[in-house]
Amino acid sequence: MNILIGLIIIAVGLLIVLKSEWLLQNFGRMDFFEKHLGSSGGSRLGYKLTGMLAIFFGILIMTNMIGGFLEWALSPLIRSSQNK
């Protein structure tokens, strides 16, 4: 089941990356991306980064490595909450 879910997430991420111009024309510019990723093309880059992030998480889910990654990424928060 993880393989199927991972492949679906990868396909969605790939579509977001490949169709970033279409997304920009239909959904418009996003102020957050324009402010933090550049004055011209920031939204386009933001759409592409969102798609690449989806591909990354899709690969993690497909290979069943999502638990280890989240444990590693959230370990500073977990450690600090256990010390209190």
Q: What is the pLDDT of residue 1?
A: 92
Contacts 24+ apart (CB under 8 A), 35-39: none
- What global pTM score does this model have? 0.83
Count of CB atoms situated within 10 Å of the CB of 75: 10
**Average pLDDT over all residues of the chain:** 90
At 82, the pLDDT band (50, 70, 90 cuts) reads: confident
Q: What is the pLDDT of residue 39?
A: 67
Count of CB atoms situated within 10 Å of the CB of 10: 19
What is the share, in percent, of the chain residues with pLDDT greater than 90? 65
What is the share, in percent, of the chain residues with pLDDT greater than 70? 96
